[in-house]
């Protein structure tokens, strides 16, 4: 009973604070003669002290006011940053971060780019340093991890097909030395996908209550975006394996390092999704089946790379013998199966990599000993 009274008192005091902040914003803007008072008021209303998720009408109001006021995006970013930086209330902090997330998802491409520029210029900040003293609190811990996810998310754009992809910076355009789309996907997009997935995995919902509407809504949006990125992730794995033996030896070494990281991530991601299915109550989430990448197959690629890059024995690498002699390699999604009897018949399952090993004409010269 005491906890319930305390909660009601906190909500009542929060409502008073919200009303005072809204009144102050309107008076201040009137004296300063500014046109953006409606934006600040809408931000304050969207991030109130109540425990409910952000009302759609506040979101639509913010987007309308910004579209109707050229040059107002930096003002919006500053007010959001100020709201997050000054509050000591967990609910307000989480709602402010959720507002940033929804603005990234709900605006047009031009608005999204302007919001990203505001972050680069420092107008939009997502610092949660004021909550460092209570890091042991599960809700505070989630706020820090969610802010970390949004720091990564703001570096991605929604393309014309409605899918997420990494934003191309000027440096990326100048340093891009590959013409082939598949190579660009592997060595530029794939590592960025892996960083994105790491930030998603950080937001583990292990301590989320079903009644925590704010965290449930934040995780639902995060999961929807992770599903999109995971599709690109799988396409990158397939492209990497398909081009593996056409790469230089140094590039094959880098590819193996990327796959090692992907192997661990695939197992962590499967556990993460299974955990979310039990805790996140949104039944409209279409979880993908995670493809498990085994260490045996990465070791096979490594030994193939060494084998074809050297002039030693003509026998097959030992890891290949061990794999091809096994009757079946199990994976979680029917990902990789090997039932072949000899090295000549060894192939990767198309379910995971969408390719098989085949004879190709390579541009790499191999020097044999006399």
> Residue 351: pLDDT above 60?
no
Spatial distance between the Cα atoms of 259 and 301, rounded to a whole number of angstroms: 10
Residues 43, 185 within the same domain: no
Residues 200, 109 within the same domain: no
Residue 189 in any domain: the answer is: yes
Residues 161, 111 within the same domain: no
In order of 112, 202, 203, 359, the CA distances from 199 in angstroms are: 20, 5, 7, 39
CATH code for position 220:
1.20.58.150
Residues 92, 198 within the same domain: no
Residue 256 in any domain: the answer is: yes
Summarize the confidence of residues 157-174 as an average pLDDT: 75
pLDDT at 312: 45
Question: CA angle at residue 261 from 142 to 353, to 5 degrees?
Answer: 115
Residue 93's pLDDT band, with cuts at 50, 70 and 90, is very high
**CA-atom Rg of the chain in angstroms:** 25
Summarize the confidence of residues 15-41 as an average pLDDT: 68
Residues 105, 159 within the same domain: no
Residues 159, 130 within the same domain: no
In order of 24, 94, 253, the CA distances from 49 in angstroms are: 17, 10, 52
pLDDT at 1: 43
3-state SS track over 177-209: CCCCHHHHHHHHHHHHHHHHHHHHHHCCCCCCC
> Residue 356: pLDDT above 70?
no
Residue 230 in any domain: the answer is: yes
Residue 364 in any domain: the answer is: no
CATH code for position 86:
1.25.40
Last residue of a domain, one of 275, 308, 341: 308
Give the number of domains in the chain. Answer: 2
Summarize the confidence of residues 39-43 as an average pLDDT: 90
> Residue 338: pLDDT above 60?
no
Residue 324 in any domain: the answer is: no
Last residue of a domain, one of 308, 327, 362: 308
Residue 191 in any domain: the answer is: yes
Spatial distance between the Cα atoms of 117 and 124, rounded to a whole number of angstroms: 9
Last residue of a domain, one of 308, 330, 351: 308
Residues 181, 215 within the same domain: yes
CA 55 to chain centre: 25
Of residues 182 and 149, more confidently modeled: 149
Residue 360 in any domain: the answer is: no
> Residue 258: pLDDT above 60?
yes
Residues 131, 159 within the same domain: no
Residues 120, 160 within the same domain: no
Spatial distance between the Cα atoms of 113 and 160, rounded to a whole number of angstroms: 14
State pTM to two decimals: 0.78
β-pair partners for 166: 156
Residues 121, 18 within the same domain: yes
Residues 22, 81 within the same domain: yes
292 backbone dihedrals φ, ψ, rounded to 5°:
-85, 125
Of residues 58 and 1, more confidently modeled: 58
Residue 320's pLDDT band, with cuts at 50, 70 and 90, is very low
Residues 234, 294 within the same domain: yes
Provide the domain limits for residue 239.
Answer: 155-167+177-308
State the alpha helices, DSSP H only, in the chain.
2-32, 37-46, 56-67, 73-86, 90-106, 109-121, 138-153, 170-175, 181-184, 190-202, 213-243, 249-279, 295-308, 318-325, 350-353
Residue 141 in any domain: the answer is: no
């Amino acid at each position: 009973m005491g906890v319930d009274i305390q909660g009601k008192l906190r909500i009542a005091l929060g409502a008073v604070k919200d009303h005072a902040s809204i009144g102050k914003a309107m008076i201040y803007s009137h004296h300063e003669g500014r046109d953006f008072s409606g934006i600040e008021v809408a931000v304050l209303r969207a991030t109130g002290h109540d425990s409910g998720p952000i009302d759609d009408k506040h979101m639509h109001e913010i987007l309308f006011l910004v579209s109707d006021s050229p040059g107002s995006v930096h003002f919006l970013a500053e007010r959001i940053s100020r709201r997050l930086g000054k509050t000591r209330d967990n609910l307000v902090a989480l709602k402010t971060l959720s507002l940033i997330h929804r603005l990234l998802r709900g605006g047009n491409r031009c608005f999204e780019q302007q919001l990203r520029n505001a972050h680069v210029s420092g107008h939009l900040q997502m610092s949660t340093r004021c909550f460092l003293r209570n890091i042991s609190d599960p809700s505070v811990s989630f706020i820090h991890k969610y802010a970390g996810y949004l720091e990564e998310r703001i570096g991605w754009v929604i393309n014309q097909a409605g899918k997420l992809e990494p934003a191309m910076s000027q440096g990326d355009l100048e340093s891009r030395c590959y013409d082939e789309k598949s190579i660009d996907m592997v060595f530029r997009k794939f590592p960025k996908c892996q960083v994105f997935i790491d930030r998603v995995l950080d937001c583990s919902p292990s301590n989320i209550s079903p009644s925590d509407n704010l965290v449930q809504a934040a995780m639902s949006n995060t999961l929807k975006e992770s599903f999109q990125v995971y599709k690109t992730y799988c396409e990158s794995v397939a492209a990497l394996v398909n081009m593996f033996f056409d790469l230089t030896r140094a590039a094959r070494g880098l590819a193996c390092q990327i796959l090692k990281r992907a192997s661990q991530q695939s197992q962590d991601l499967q556990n993460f999704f299974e955990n979310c299915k039990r805790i996140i109550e949104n039944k409209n989430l279409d979880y993908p089946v995670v493809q498990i990448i085994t260490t045996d197959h990465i070791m096979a690629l490594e030994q193939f790379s060494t084998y074809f890059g050297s002039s030693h024995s003509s026998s097959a690498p030992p890891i290949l013998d061990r794999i091809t002699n096994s009757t079946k390699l199990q994976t979680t999604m029917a990902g990789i199966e090997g039932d072949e009897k000899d090295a000549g018949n060894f192939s990767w399952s198309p379910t995971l990599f969408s390719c098989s090993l085949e004879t190709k004409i390579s541009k790499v010269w191999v020097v044999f000993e006399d």
